[in-house]
Amino acid sequence: MENGVGAIDGPTNPMVTPLLTDLYQFTMAYAYWKAGKHQERAVFDLYFRKNPFGGEYTVFAGLEECIRFIANFRLREDEINFIRESLPGSCEDGFFDYLRGIDCSDVELYAIPEGSVVFPKIPLLRVEGPIAVVQLLETPFVNLINYASLVSTNAARHRNVAGQSKTLLEFGLRRAQGPDGGLSASKYCYIGGFDATSSYSYCSNMNMSLDEIIDKSLRRKDSSSTCEDFVSLVQAWLNKIQWSSSLRGIFGETNQSECKNHFKAVLEQVMRSGIPNFCAVALALRDLGYKAVGIRLDSGDLAYLSCEVRKFFSSIEKEFAVPEFGKMSITASNDLNEETIDALNKQGHEVDAFGIGTYLVTCYAQAALGVVFKLVEINNQPRIKLSEDVSKVSIPCKKRSYRLYGREGYPLVDIMTGENEPPPQVGERILCRHPFQESKRAYVVPQQVEELLRCYWSGNSDIIREPLPSLRDIRERCIQQLEQMRPDHMRRLNPTPYKVSVSGKLYEFIHFLWLNEAPVGELQ
C-alpha cells in the first residue's frame, strides 16, 4: 500500500463524503454494474467552457481537496444502507456488495498544478479508472473545483486592479454562502493573491467612550515602567492636537464648494472626531513604546477621505516630529469590488489596504463557473459528446496538454494532442489548430514547452505521483503565473483571448469522429 490509500488526510470539510453527490450517479453506477460494464476503463476530462467575470483567464484551485477526497474514498456501511434505501427496491444485493469493496486504488488522476492560470477546454483533471467508480467522483469533483477556482480567480482579478503594493484583506465570512463558503473563501482568496482574512482594528467600533474605562493603567512595551493613567495621556495628546495651529488648518480645510452636503457630514465626523481621537491614542501608545497600526474608513467618499486623512497624519508627523506617522496605514472597506477599486484608482487615493467582502466571496459578478466532467474514452475507444452548440462538443480521446512559450517568455498557446503523439519540441515548428474552426491555425516555434498534466494520484500503481504542495507554494505559483501572462490577456477592458488549440492530428480525428457520429439531416 505504499503510494496508496490512506497516506493523505481526508477533506477539510468532513461533510465531503462519497454521498456528496447526486443520487443519479449511484443509479448510473448500478446500470453499469447490472450491465457487467462497471470495470471498463474510462477516461474523463474535467474542464470549463468559458472564463468567468468577462475575463480571459482563470485560476485553477480545489485540487488538493479532490486528492484528499479520492485518497479516502470508501463507502461506510451506513452510507451503503442509505443508498440502498434511496434506490428502487429492485436493485440487486450484489451491487451493494460491490459498493462495499470499492475505493480509488484503481484510479489515476492527472491534473494541472493547483494555482496555475488555466483556460477553457483544456482539461484541468484527467481521471482514469473503472467507469462506475469514476462516475461517483463527478459531482464531488465538480463541486470542489467550481467554487474554489471561481473565488481564486475573483481574488486574482481584485489583486490585479488593486496593484501589487496594496494589502488585500478578505472580509467575507458574514456574507459567504454558508460556513464552508466562508472558510474555503479565505483559503482560495489567499491563493489568488490576498494577504489575509478579516482581523481588523476595532477602535471606532467600541461601544464605550474613554471615561468608561476602569483600569486606566498600561505597562510600557519594554515592561520598564507603567503609565498609571493612560486615559489622561490620551487626553493630553488630544488637547495638543486641538490647539495646534497647523492642524486646526486641516480641521477647517473641508472645502465646502467641493463636496456635497451629505458627504460633508461624514467628512466632518471623521476629520473632527474620529481621526484626531485615533491620533491621540496612537501618540499616547507611542510614548509607551507601542505602535498603532492604522485606521479603517468604512463609509463616505473613500478617495477624498483617505487623502484628507493622509494629510492629517503627515501634519502630525511634522508638528510633533514623529517619524513615520505620515505612513500610518489607511484601510478602506464598504462594498468594494473591482469596479469601485478601479474608480478609486482613477480619482487618486491614499488607501494602503482594501477590505473586500460580499463581492469577493459570493463572486457576485458571476456566481458559478461551469465546470463539466465528460467521458472522452472507454476501453481505449474515444468518445465524443455532440451538441448543436459547438461550444458544448467535447474533445474526445485520452490527451496530453502543453503550454508553449514564446521568445519573450510569455505563454503563447496551450495545445492538446493525442496521448501517443510525440510532444512538441523546443525550437521545432508545430501546427496549432483551433479545435472546431477550420480556418484558425498557427505555426508556433516554442522556446519552452511545459507539459500541463501531472500525476497527483496513482492508486496502487507504480506511477510516481507529485507531492501536494503547501498552500504558500500554491499561492506563489499563482502569483508567478499571473505575472508571466502577456498583459493584454489580463486587462479588464476587452482582454485578448488566450489561444487554446489541438494538434493537426487530433483535429483530424475529432472531425472524423464528429462526421461519423452526427446524423445526416434529410431535406424533404
What is the b/e burial string over 159-172, where b = at least 16 CB atoms within 10 angstroms of the residue's CB?
bbbbeeebbbbbbb
**514 close to 382: Cβ distance less than 8 angstroms:** no
**For a second copy, which is the closer residue by CB, 383 or 400?**
383
H helices of 49-92, where?
Answer: 63-71, 77-86
CB of 163 vs a second copy, minimal distance in Å: 25
**For a second copy, which is the closer residue by CB, 202 or 443?**
202
CB of 96 vs a second copy, minimal distance in Å: 17
**For a second copy, which is the closer residue by CB, 373 or 507?**
373
What is the b/e burial string over 61-93, where b = at least 16 CB atoms within 10 angstroms of the residue's CB?
bbbbbbbbbbbbbebeeeebeebeeebeeebee
**406 by DSSP, 3-state: which?**
coil
Who's near 180: CB < 8 A, 6+ residues apart? 13, 15
**For a second copy, which is the closer residue by CB, 206 or 463?**
206
Region of 335 (left: φ > 0; alpha: ψ -120 to 50; beta: rest) is: left
**For a second copy, which is the closer residue by CB, 183 or 449?**
183
CB of 429 vs a second copy, minimal distance in Å: 38
- 445-449 contact pairs (CB < 8 A, 24+): 446/404, 446/405, 446/406, 446/412, 447/405, 447/406, 447/407, 447/409, 448/404, 448/405, 449/402, 449/403, 449/404, 449/405, 449/423, 449/424, 449/425
**Cα 52 to Cα 158: distance, rounded to the nearest angstrom:** 13
CB of 219 vs a second copy, minimal distance in Å: 8
**For a second copy, which is the closer residue by CB, 205 or 420?**
205
**For a second copy, which is the closer residue by CB, 235 or 358?**
358
Q: Which three cell numbers stand for residue 470?
A: 503547501
**478 close to 192: Cβ distance less than 8 angstroms:** yes
CB of 257 vs a second copy, minimal distance in Å: 13
CA angle 259, 264, 265 (to 5 degrees): 165
CB of 172 vs a second copy, minimal distance in Å: 9
CB of 212 vs a second copy, minimal distance in Å: 7
What is the b/e burial string over 286-321, where b = at least 16 CB atoms within 10 angstroms of the residue's CB?
bebeeebebbbbeebbbbbbbbbbbbbbbbbbeebe
CB of 240 vs a second copy, minimal distance in Å: 22
Who's near 342: CB < 8 A, 6+ residues apart? 161, 492
**For a second copy, which is the closer residue by CB, 254 or 447?**
254
CB of 214 vs a second copy, minimal distance in Å: 5
**For a second copy, which is the closer residue by CB, 27 or 345?**
27
**For a second copy, which is the closer residue by CB, 213 or 463?**
213
CB of 309 vs a second copy, minimal distance in Å: 18
**For a second copy, which is the closer residue by CB, 300 or 411?**
300
**Cα 479 to Cα 473: distance, rounded to the nearest angstrom:** 10
CB of 276 vs a second copy, minimal distance in Å: 14
Residue in the structure block whose three cell numbers are 490647539: 243
